[in-house]
Structure 1
């Protein structure tokens, strides 16, 4: 596989993640752990079928158990927090805060051997977090409600979880793409009992609810992890990292176009600040 083709395959993940908020809203009122369980069962099962069909099952025995634990905790933690955040706060606002992870990846990468942070990294961080603050305060308008603070907090934890997982994954060595299927199935296995222990079961409602849930399992919580793995391992990881900064803007645009989020100057400015801050940090990375 060529570097250009691998990069293009990895970019598919960015497009799929732009639909994450829309499909999560469509799956309501399914509780977060149950949604985790259903989606990762779908994604993991299809991934295992793909692994078997391509003769990759033997590779799974050579993966260290620590890698499986790390991958499972990363996927489980991120999505449990994300789904919970979108249940407790408006989808567009919570989604934008959660999408601080591309910027945080750039900042945290400065802690890795051989990496350093430059002035634009810090400027980018300030600009992006100004966007997050604008969302939380509602620009000082009447739309602000403290009732959404738990959701905003979970969205921020979500961003910290995925960025930490992404950066630390460089320290544990490479694993075959087929191992992602195990991450997904293990996440589902953990989510099912936790759901029955702590949540009230509420299955997706009607055709739209089930279509959104299945769509999550097939795309943003399924195929996206496999194509992203191919992209970051065989493609241009800098280009893919930069392209991921488009995800919050695309996600918000999808929510506005579908009528879930109302267009407003506050939302638009916040999207510009978060995306612009991340691009500013990315420019500093390219200069290294």
Structure 2
């Protein structure tokens, strides 16, 4: 496991390494969309997770499963795999680049819903700010899905009806991730099974590809490069994040992670060569601000206790 071979590092350096995870994850949407356009939604996702699993095996490794609560192995596996499948396939099944970015923004409701789940299931205290911040995040998604017109319920429903599968999968990713985080806090007892979870996601994707079928996998120098970059962004993202949360400043890392939607939309627009309107960016800003205010509603309460 490479993380154990690293020399001693200062907290600021570890924090900087952890922050690179946010940049890597922010490139996921554009890179996954590029790969799935070449290999198909299921085949592309299976290839990405296969390589990412190898990266995680050598960077993080596997814990001794005998020391991990069985409830977490089972429950964590189901929730994490469900989240990763929903996330990757929601982008893979999108009909065009613009829709892929919209779907990704739905997925970035996860910080808000994670805090909501923590309040409901983990007895995390919050103040009155949680309600308007939650509404703000949801309104931001409505703005994103309004098709350049801001909040427009008819246009938003028309957008969703064009590809209900992708938008439903994105919402599934949000809810399963929030449930996973809540479940992990209760049951994990410090265990990190991300490598195992990625391996299971890979197996499920290949089973789905072989049984349901997918488009043939034709390799070229260009799509191999895109595949490696997508897998590296996904796998190395978890690897460097692990370094950050172990040795770095978790407060800085958590705060910075709330800006992922903005960076993700920016990187996706650049990678996919897709211009985004000012109205879209306003929606992204509302989602981000809503998540930050949700976080403030819990951290402020903790500070007052």
Q: What TM-score range do you get, normalising by the shorter chain?
A: 0.7 to 0.9
Query: For the Cα contact (< 8 Å) 1:59–1:176, is it kept in 2?
Result: no
Q: How far is 1:266 from its partner?
A: 2.1
Deviation string, structure 1 residues 132-167 (Cα, Å, up to 9, x no partner): 112223224979533133322221211112122122
Displacement of 1:205: 5.4
**1:10-21 mapped onto 2 (5 Å cutoff):** 10-21=18-29
| Residues in 2 aligned to 1:250 and 1:82: alpha-carbon distance in whole angstroms | 17
SS of equivalent residue, structure 1 residue 95: helix
Deviation string, structure 1 residues 25-60 (Cα, Å, up to 9, x no partner):
210143333333222221222332345xxxx66744
Bigger drift between 236-245 and 154-163 goes to 236-245
The answer to whether the aligner puts 1:247 opposite 2:260 as a matched pair is yes
Alignment of 1:2-41 (within 5 A): 3-27=11-35, 28-41=37-50
Could you tell me how far apart the structure 2 residues matched to 1:256 and 1:48 are?
31
Report what 1:120 is aligned to: 129
Given the alignment of the two structures, is residue 47 of structure 1 paired with residue 52 of structure 2, yes or no?
no
Distance 1:78 1:202 in 2: 25
Q: Over the residues paired in the alignment, what is the CA RMSD in angstroms?
A: 2.7
Question: 1:263 Cα shift?
Answer: 2.2
Single out whichever of 83-92 and 261-270 deviates more from structure 2. Answer: 83-92
Deviation string, structure 1 residues 88-134 (Cα, Å, up to 9, x no partner): 25121111111110111122211244512322111111111001112
Specify the SS of the correspondent of 1:137.
coil
Aligned residues of 2:109 and 2:174 also touching (Cα < 8 A): yes
Q: Deviations over 1:209-247 (max 9, x none)?
A: 222222222222x12223334444554444333221111
Distance 2:164 2:23 in 1: 28
Give the unaligned 5+ runs of structure 1: none
1:195 is matched with 209
- Paired with 1:283 and 1:20, the residues of 2 have a C-alpha distance of 27
**CA deviation profile, 1:155-192 (whole Å, cap 9, x unmatched):** 12111121221222111133454x32222222212221
Q: Does 1:225 align with 2:230?
A: no
The normalised TM-score by structure 2 is: 0.81
Gaps of 5+ in 2: 1-8
In 1, distance between residues paired with 2:216 and 2:297? 46
Asked whether the 8 Å contact 2:76–2:183 carries over to 1, the reply is no
Q: CA offset at residue 73 of structure 1?
A: 2.5
Match runs of 1:73-222 below 5 Å: 73-86=78-91, 87-89=93-95, 90-138=99-147, 139=149, 140=152, 145=159, 146-177=161-192, 179-203=193-217, 206-220=220-234, 222=235
Q: Which moved more, 1:234-243 or 1:17-26?
A: 234-243
Q: Distance in 1 between matches of 2:20 and 2:79?
A: 20
Q: Name the stretch that deviates more: 246-255 or 138-147.
A: 138-147
The question of whether the paired residues in 2 share the 8 Å contact of 1:72 and 1:184 is answered with: no
TM-score, normalised by the number of residues in structure 1: 0.85
Mapping 1:263-282, distance limit 5 Å: 263-282=276-295
